[in-house]
Structure 1
Amino acid sequence: MNLAPDLNQVQCITLTNAQLKVNILTLGASIQSIYLKGYAHSLVLGSSNLSDYLGDAKYFGAVVGRVANRTAKGHAVVDGKTYQLPLTLPEPHHLHGGPAGTGSKNWSVVEQADDRVQLQTQLSDGEMGYPGNMVVNVVYQLLDNSLEMDITATTDRLTICNFAGHSYLNLDGTGSILDHQLHIKADHYLPVDNELIPTGEVTPTEGSTFDFNQLRRIGREDYPGLDTNFCLSLCNRPLQTVATLKAPITGLTLDYQTTEPGLQVYDGRHIQLSAASNINPGRLTAYAGLALEAQHWPDAVHQSHFPPILLAPEDRYQQITRYVFR
């Protein structure tokens, strides 16, 4: 069965205000580009070739789910029943909702204005192995020098739910984020095994290689790299700044705000995209962008002490995440 969407049906919606111009693709509800007044390059990675979003640019700017990040062996138990979710090969685990998760679907436009768009997708019971019919909405809205992403979801059956925006940021357009500086307001992080599955430990960041409690060059000299969940809280909180990213070359700074209890940070070590497809000049290679992915903690279905990701029919999932540029 061909799970790929018809790329001829994909729309590109442009949002503008006095400070920002943002292109949103209905494919994956993806942020394709963000342009800030006074800067010529997009502040996020993107491709001009739609087919890349099903290949080398998979997840670029997409809303991924219905469960973001890794679920060990694709195994999940919901309400006493075991579900086998499809593996995202070549990984031996389920990743970002599976091979045809929300990041690979062509969403519908519900409402559109100059500075705002609402997109929707519907997930059927059993789709990618998950229980429950689900309706997912995302609203992108420009607020002065900020882009806000508001994701909501409802279900008709107890299920698991954990969405994430998956934009790769690069604030200076140089092709590498290793000289960017990063600050993360997190006292703990999740150690992982050699397949990037959390061990279950919740470890203090202070004094560790993952201590970003002060603005610090990302680099890669003194730690093994970043594909790491930083623990912000044990439940959703009011919108607040949880990370700051700064590009010394331009002085441009991003304050990353979210309501979510976790922040997955990925250094883009596997990025490969040709110069012909890149919306910015040049070829994209390893470490070309940094992914900041607000979400609940990964593999929560197997760790009872992690913030839960169950969604019941009487409840409503909501995540608000905001990119504030200054």
Structure 2
Amino acid sequence: MTVSTIGTIDGVEIAAVALSLADGTAATVIGFGASVQSLTVPAPEGPRPVVLGYPDLAGYLHNPGYVGTTAGRHANRIGGGRFTLDGRTYQLGLNERGRTHLHGGLRGFSHRPWRLVASDATSATFEIVSPDGEEGYPGTLTARVTYTLAAPATLRVTMTATTDAPTMVGLAHHSYFTLAPGRAVLEHRLAVHAAHITPVDADLIPTGEIAPVAGTPFDLREPRRLADGPRLDHNYVLDATPADDGLHPAATVIGGGLVLTCRTTAPGLQVYDGGGLGVPFFPHAGLCLEPQTFPDGPNKPHFPSPVLRPGETWRQVTEYAFAPET
């Protein structure tokens, strides 16, 4: 494990932490946006990079695709950037077409410096303190993200948050995965462990319906080439049957002789096919698997609640595990 400083933003030193395992799995995680900059895993030809990343800090300062970041306070979209909590209505920043609050707003957690608070050979923990009123959210929120490498070839993402006043919370990890770097992921096969989806309107805000995927192009219960389906930027309602460690299956991706398995404690999985990626990448250069509470959850009482109150701890754990295709 090595720790270096790659810059200073808002008076916070931005740490880069290099993590590794004996099996050749390695990652670099950085404090700006609590981001995964690189991840390599064993493959038949040797270590293979499996996430998109910028070569230096400058790329993350703009980063319109949220490449590798931690999205929050509330990931995904909130319609009109408004919600009501305990009888009071809050207006959040509108950073998508002036109508929608996306991934935490005008400068969400993905575009903020986080402090490195702990690290060792296989893990690093970053922390951010968001003051009351930032981006319109109530309460001072303290959030932590821990990245851990575990054998064999697994990246574990553990997120926690606490608050001093009632607020809304829903962090999400936003890496773009590719099992065949340099080629479009449209040839990858994807399965999602979900029998339902949350349909969206023209602004990609959920209508409130929880609809079955059976008989629709969004049915991914069996592996299917991404090229054979619709463009994906949708929240799947995961079939939650947790294992003994509390994680339930979310998705499986097959490509390039590797298999990526995603498990999580989250109720939803946003699947984004990367079609909007631009320079220095290209459309569909990577696939996002974003475990999350549901988009527009603050305005849909029948969705899993994103409300966090003082004395409670919000927690979400996700694992991305890689193995050879058999």
Q: TM-score, normalised by structure 2?
A: 0.91
Q: Distance in 1 between matches of 2:71 and 2:195?
A: 26
In the alignment, the residues of structure 1 paired with residue 177 and residue 64 of structure 2 have an alpha-carbon distance, to the nearest angstrom, of: 14
Contact residue 5 and residue 104 of structure 1 kept, 8 A: no
Gaps of 5+ in 1: 275-283
Q: How does 1:37-48 map to 2 (within 5 A)?
A: 37-38=42-43, 39-48=46-55
Q: Is the 8 A contact 2:271 2:288 kept in 1?
A: yes
Structure ranking higher in strand proportion: 2
Greater displacement, 30-39 / 132-141: 30-39
CA RMSD, Structure 1 to Structure 2 (Å): 1.9
Partner of 1:279: none
SS in 2 for 1:324: strand
2:256 matched to 1:244? no
Task: List gaps (5 residues or longer) in structure 2.
Answer: 1-7
Give the aligned partner of residue 159 of structure 2.
151
What corresponds to 1:36 in structure 2? 41
Contact 1:183/1:213 (8 A) holds in 2: yes
Cα distance, 1:286–1:58 mapped onto 2, change above 3 Å: closer
Structure 1 residue 308 and structure 2 residue 315: aligned?
Answer: no
Runs of 4+ in 1 over 4 A off after TM superposition: 233-237
In the alignment, structure 1 residue 218 sits paired with structure 2 residue 226:
yes
The letter for the 1-side match of 2:315 is Q
Deviations 1:243-285 (CA, angstroms, capped at 9, x unpaired) = 10010xx2100000100000000111110122xxxxxxxxx21
Is 2:193 the partner of 1:196? Answer: no
For 1:164 and 1:227, the matched residues in 2 are separated by 14
TM-score with structure 1 setting the length = 0.91
Task: Quote the Cα distance in structure 2 between the aligned partners of 1:305 and 1:126.
Answer: 26
Partner of 1:131: 138
- Residues 12 and 114, structure 2, Cα contact 8 Å, conserved in 1: no
Superposed, which structure 2 residues align to 1:1-326 within 5 Å?
Answer: 5-6=9-10, 9-19=13-23, 20-38=25-43, 39-56=46-63, 58-144=65-151, 145-219=153-227, 221-223=228-230, 225-232=231-238, 238-247=246-255, 250-274=256-280, 284-326=281-323
The number of equivalent residue pairs is: 310
The offset of 1:89, in angstroms, is 3.8
* CA contact 2:42–2:48 (8 Å) conserved in 1: no
Percent identity, please: 37
Q: Alpha carbons of 1:252 and 1:16: their partners in 2 closer, same or farther (altered >3 Å)? A: same
Provide the secondary structure at the position in 1 that maps to 2:58: helix
